[in-house]
Chains A and B, each alone.
Chain A
């Protein structure tokens, strides 16, 4: 397989190469803006000096250039702000698209290892961090640097000695900031942990509300939550003290140089090296750079923090994708699926499947049973192509799995599993996912077959009813029927049933079993069963235990 590594593992930072010009414009506009401000200040300095020299100032002569400066300043500020946000917006959009396109192709393993919750958190909160990185951190850092450099250059041109005095306290500021951020960082970790605990506990309490109410546990649970809240406040107390000290120190370090500079100015004047105008302009410029200079240490820390998020997201982009060949074969032959001597483990130490061999014949109805952890679900996942055998071979319609184009292969497989997932959208849309472009009549037909049509038409909006959080709530049985309708619509020759009735009650189960019997006709069916009555129709039963097939039974009734 030769695919270019670039397309397989897109680099987050490639987007920078694509949108660097926004950043360039931003820097250019920022530079222009500072220049305009410097120019303005120097004109003010000039005119002040002339005023003191007793010269008459012609207002018009002074005002026209200044008005031009003003308009240019406005335009530059507009350009600066616009290009800065554009940079961030395009970057974000690109990265999000990249991530989602990648996500649907990553190997299933990864989702099991990470857990959906963690991954979701990664995608959302790290994405927010990255947003802040491009929208604020990087541009502001750049502009702070530019402001400082231009202003310093201006001051340096006026007086190198003044420049040195301006910068003299700066290393001290950096050192203090560094020390304090380290302290705050440790507290922040504790804080994050406490908030996690709080959320976990509260979630626990809400989830168990039925027990909580019936056992009168209100006071106990209140205490559990309140204790954590109080701990949070205690932790904040320490953090706030550190922050308060931090504030005082950084202000002092910013303020003292200012005083020193003023005094130095005075000294320079006494030696005839500086004019009032220069002091005036200098005081204004000093205000301009005081903030960016103070912010730089904090910005460096933020950039370092955000870099962690960049790395975490890049990890997602670097994940291996599903194996896919290029073959698109016809579903022919008597043997539909075949595993030979398959070994598989989620980790090195623990083998989940040991030397599994099985053959599924066309039109047969096969059941997998056994304790949880026995390996039956893992075999199912291998058959779906979610996992790959570490050793041994998996063949479908006579072709090795790796020869198949993964999407071509899945055309022939339908899966109805225990956790039905319905996408937000209308009922019709959800069923139609089984066969893109399906006509309305087809959808209705399969819903009738799945015994859900009557329920759907009595809803106020019928097939156009929205499901999910903002729409109708479906019971477990109803959702399962929709999933079956979807599978009917797909009309694939192989049907995999992964405990489809484990989440519904016994009464509902019977109804669903009947429909499953209906859909199983003329198909090759593999069922993972958890109740014995489920497997009454099976012609072949495999019993799994500790990753091995311990028993294979052929029943006479089906064949």
Chain B
């Protein structure tokens, strides 16, 4: 079972309510598996410890004030040393527990994030081929990077930033209630008003923030287009036009930022106002309560110290709820991605009984269309005898590459059947089918690993000797040895280091190493120089020997080589 399946199995299948923010959050947290318990405990422990830490300080202050108050009655320092030592000792202990919890929490969050990314990357290797054809690889990558980073942010900070202040606020509230419940209730009323006001701003601020992110994306696009299209911009003298367009969007962005600014400034003003109102309520009530003997000044001081922390935490909860919502939007996109259908293990048998011909590959009455409207292949028949070479010839768009993709199992056929070695396609798993075929694509892709490793991909357990032998057969050994690091040379992004012919020969070596009975060869369109072409052709001849070969031909010379030419 694929890794991504395991995880998705853990966090529950997609359900009708998958738009609900709480459900998305729950799904995210469930993805942490066993780590979640540790994660949650660490957050709780951090909150308890931090609030106790503040409470200790507040109690010490209370103690000192009460000493000052009773100054006249005795020795101001009596028993102080023990109390201070106790306080410092407890404080140290708290900080230590905090450090450990912080470590556990952070590591669980990081593991959760890594796990999420692993799941997404596994998924992105297992999508049906059509997905990659429709989505560019950079588009796919940026989606994965951005969404997984943001969604991991829920583990990393967002969840804690809401849960912790909430917990701490409760702890402070308990301590405050114990010190003086009358003052506490009044103060809490003032804070609640603050909370409501902040809540009122959430909706409009989110609206502007959405507009801002749209404009921001446009700005980024504009810069990227200016860079990519620089040549045309210069030749067609579009400089000022491009700059004007950019400035227009940039100004729009500024205006949106200004609107946001005005709103958050209003909010800050109100928060400050209510913060001071809280102090006012505190003083006024405190004075009344103290003068009536309901509470004492030292309790009042301690409550006030805690109140500062409590209302700060209350504001934090309010502050981070909208940002949590925007992170959950990314988590939602993550799950949409994870819920995409994968390439099946094998294709389903959906055709009436057909009898295979006697070829190694036998194609019976196959109809195929990419979009369900226009058939690329219609009732197509072909038998390829074992060991023979068939060249496919057709105008562009007439389905010769499509046929290769069908045989490779990159797309399922719409109707009809493909038989390989006399067995129906659906009786193989896709992995088994692909094990039988070596494929040399039109533009051979070299991975950014060493040349040896690139060749080894043909047969992962191949020895060094096998690799060298394959490279020799592919006429690649000599130029590889000429490179500074020989077989250990990394090929660099898109194999830029090597010429087209060299890349092709490495791809051929890979196919030779795979040693599959069937070979599919998509001929390169661009011309190679004569020497290079001769080397490539020679190695191809070696590769084709004894194999059933399908060549997607672009050149007349290839057609002459084939045992059979099929025109589509």
Q: Which of B20-28, B215-223, B415-423, B533-541 forms part of the interface with chain A?
A: B215-223
B 239-278 binary contact with A (CB < 8 Å = 1; else 0): 1011100110011011001101110111011111101110
A80: chain B residues within 8 A (beta carbon):
268
CB-based nearest A residue for B257: A89
Q: Which of A8-16, A61-69, A450-458 forms part of the interface with chain B?
A: A61-69
State A393–B187 Cα separation when bound (angstroms): 83
CB <8 Å contact, B221 and A417:
no
User: A77-B269, A266-B77 given as contacts; is B434 within 8 A of A215 (CB)?
Assistant: yes
State A521–B241 Cα separation when bound (angstroms): 30
B228: chain A residues within 8 A (beta carbon):
116, 421
CB <8 Å contact, B268 and A124:
no
User: A77-B271, A280-B65 given as contacts; is B396 within 8 A of A508 (CB)?
Assistant: yes
Q: Which of A159-167, A175-183, A235-243 forms part of the interface with chain B?
A: A235-243
Q: Which of A337-345, A354-362, A408-416, A550-558 forms part of the interface with chain B?
A: A408-416
The answer to whether B378 has its CB under 8 Å from any CB of chain A is no
Chain A interface, >50% SS class: helix
Q: Name the distance in Å between A525's Cβ and chain B's nearest Cβ.
A: 15
B446: chain A residues within 8 A (beta carbon):
208
CB <8 Å contact, A269 and B554:
no
The answer to whether B447 has its CB under 8 Å from any CB of chain A is yes
Interface size range of chain B in the complex: 35 or more
User: A216-B434, A279-B65 given as contacts; is B121 within 8 A of A202 (CB)?
Assistant: yes
Q: Which of B96-104, B162-170, B176-184 forms part of the interface with chain A?
A: B96-104
CB <8 Å contact, A123 and B223:
yes
CB <8 Å contact, A81 and B226:
no
CB <8 Å contact, A247 and B102:
yes
A 195-233 binary contact with B (CB < 8 Å = 1; else 0): 000111111111111111111111011101110011011
The answer to whether A157 has its CB under 8 Å from any CB of chain B is no
User: A89-B261, A116-B228, A386-B231 given as contacts; is B121 within 8 A of A225 (CB)?
Assistant: yes
CB <8 Å contact, B68 and A76:
no
The answer to whether B234 has its CB under 8 Å from any CB of chain A is yes
Give the residue of B222, B284, B527 whose beta carbon is less than 8 angstroms from that of A59: B284
State A216–B459 Cα separation when bound (angstroms): 10
B225: chain A residues within 8 A (beta carbon):
421, 423-424
CB <8 Å contact, B297 and A530:
no
The answer to whether A148 has its CB under 8 Å from any CB of chain B is no
A47: chain B residues within 8 A (beta carbon):
283, 287
B95: chain A residues within 8 A (beta carbon):
248, 251-252
CB <8 Å contact, A206 and B137:
yes
State A115–B92 Cα separation when bound (angstroms): 53
Within B492-506, which residues are at the interface with A (CB < 8 Å)? 493-494, 499
The answer to whether B88 has its CB under 8 Å from any CB of chain A is yes
CB <8 Å contact, B88 and A259:
yes
Give the residue of B2, B239, B270, B308 whose beta carbon is less than 8 angstroms from that of A104: B239
Q: Which of A90-98, A139-147, A326-334, A535-543 forms part of the interface with chain B?
A: A90-98
A490: chain B residues within 8 A (beta carbon):
236
CB <8 Å contact, B276 and A215:
no
Give the residue of A217, A229, A423, A502 whose beta carbon is less than 8 angstroms from that of B117: A229
CB <8 Å contact, A77 and B231:
no
The answer to whether B201 has its CB under 8 Å from any CB of chain A is no
Give the residue of B251, B308, B529 whose beta carbon is less than 8 angstroms from that of A371: B529
CB-based nearest B residue for A124: B220
CB <8 Å contact, A506 and B525:
yes
State A73–B272 Cα separation when bound (angstroms): 6
The answer to whether B526 has its CB under 8 Å from any CB of chain A is yes
The answer to whether A301 has its CB under 8 Å from any CB of chain B is no
Q: Name the distance in Å between A65's Cβ and chain B's nearest Cβ.
A: 11
The answer to whether B408 has its CB under 8 Å from any CB of chain A is yes
The answer to whether A35 has its CB under 8 Å from any CB of chain B is no
Give the residue of A85, A205, A424, A508 whose beta carbon is less than 8 angstroms from that of B264: A85
User: A51-B291, A101-B243, A218-B125 given as contacts; is B264 within 8 A of A81 (CB)?
Assistant: yes
Q: Name the distance in Å between A225's Cβ and chain B's nearest Cβ.
A: 5
CB <8 Å contact, B226 and A103:
yes
Q: Which of B10-18, B105-113, B351-359 forms part of the interface with chain A?
A: B105-113
The answer to whether B326 has its CB under 8 Å from any CB of chain A is no
B80: chain A residues within 8 A (beta carbon):
263, 266
CB <8 Å contact, B223 and A124:
yes
CB <8 Å contact, A279 and B64:
yes
Within B178-224, which residues are at the interface with A (CB < 8 Å)? 219-224
B 431-464 binary contact with A (CB < 8 Å = 1; else 0): 1001101010100111111000000011010000
The answer to whether B122 has its CB under 8 Å from any CB of chain A is yes
The answer to whether B510 has its CB under 8 Å from any CB of chain A is yes
The answer to whether B238 has its CB under 8 Å from any CB of chain A is yes
Q: Name the distance in Å between A266's Cβ and chain B's nearest Cβ.
A: 5
The answer to whether A245 has its CB under 8 Å from any CB of chain B is yes
State A224–B107 Cα separation when bound (angstroms): 22
B291: chain A residues within 8 A (beta carbon):
51, 57
CB <8 Å contact, A120 and B448:
no
The answer to whether B114 has its CB under 8 Å from any CB of chain A is yes
A168: chain B residues within 8 A (beta carbon):
none
CB-based nearest B residue for A420: B232
State A211–B514 Cα separation when bound (angstroms): 12
The answer to whether A505 has its CB under 8 Å from any CB of chain B is yes
Within B461-507, which residues are at the interface with A (CB < 8 Å)? 493-494, 499
The answer to whether A500 has its CB under 8 Å from any CB of chain B is no
Q: How many of A's residues come within 8 Å of B, CB to CB? A: 135
B98: chain A residues within 8 A (beta carbon):
247-248
CB <8 Å contact, A248 and B99:
yes
State A204–B107 Cα separation when bound (angstroms): 28
Most buried by A among B60, B87, B251, B448: B448
CB <8 Å contact, B99 and A244:
yes
CB <8 Å contact, B61 and A262:
yes
CB <8 Å contact, A421 and B231:
yes
CB <8 Å contact, A245 and B514:
no
The answer to whether B230 has its CB under 8 Å from any CB of chain A is yes
The answer to whether B71 has its CB under 8 Å from any CB of chain A is yes
State A386–B53 Cα separation when bound (angstroms): 66
User: A202-B121, A270-B71 given as contacts; is B276 within 8 A of A73 (CB)?
Assistant: yes
Within B54-81, which residues are at the interface with A (CB < 8 Å)? 57, 60-61, 64-65, 67-69, 71, 76-77, 80
User: A111-B227, A207-B445 given as contacts; is B68 within 8 A of A266 (CB)?
Assistant: yes
User: A52-B69, A200-B448 given as contacts; is B129 within 8 A of A213 (CB)?
Assistant: yes
State A73–B223 Cα separation when bound (angstroms): 42
The answer to whether A407 has its CB under 8 Å from any CB of chain B is yes
B53: chain A residues within 8 A (beta carbon):
251, 255
The answer to whether A74 has its CB under 8 Å from any CB of chain B is yes
Q: Name the distance in Å between B54's Cβ and chain A's nearest Cβ.
A: 10
Q: Name the distance in Å between A428's Cβ and chain B's nearest Cβ.
A: 15
CB-based nearest B residue for A265: B64
CB <8 Å contact, A73 and B236:
no
State A237–B103 Cα separation when bound (angstroms): 8
User: A124-B220, A386-B231, A421-B231 given as contacts; is B110 within 8 A of A262 (CB)?
Assistant: no
Q: List 11 A-B contacts (CB under 8 A).
A: A57-B287, A77-B271, A211-B441, A215-B458, A218-B126, A233-B107, A240-B102, A372-B499, A414-B235, A423-B225, A433-B238
Which 10 residue pairs are nearest across A and B when measured between Cβ atoms? A78-B269, A74-B273, A77-B272, A82-B265, A81-B268, A507-B396, A81-B265, A85-B261, A208-B445, A421-B229
Beyond the given pairs A67-B280, A81-B268, A104-B230, 11 more chain A to chain B contacts, judged by CB atoms under 8 angstroms and listed by A's residue number, are A66-B280, A77-B271, A81-B265, A92-B254, A233-B111, A247-B102, A248-B95, A259-B60, A263-B84, A410-B235, A413-B235
Interface of B with A (CB < 8 Å)?
Answer: 2-3, 53, 57, 60-61, 64-65, 67-69, 71, 76-77, 80, 84, 87-88, 91-92, 95-96, 98-100, 102-103, 106-107, 110-111, 114, 117-118, 121-122, 124-126, 129, 132, 137-141, 144-145, 219-239, 241-243, 246-247, 250-251, 253-254, 257-258, 260-262, 264-266, 268-273, 275-277, 279-280, 283-284, 287-288, 290-291, 297, 301, 304-305, 308, 343, 395-396, 408, 410, 431, 434-435, 437, 439, 441, 444-449, 457-458, 460, 493-494, 499, 510, 514, 525-527, 529, 554
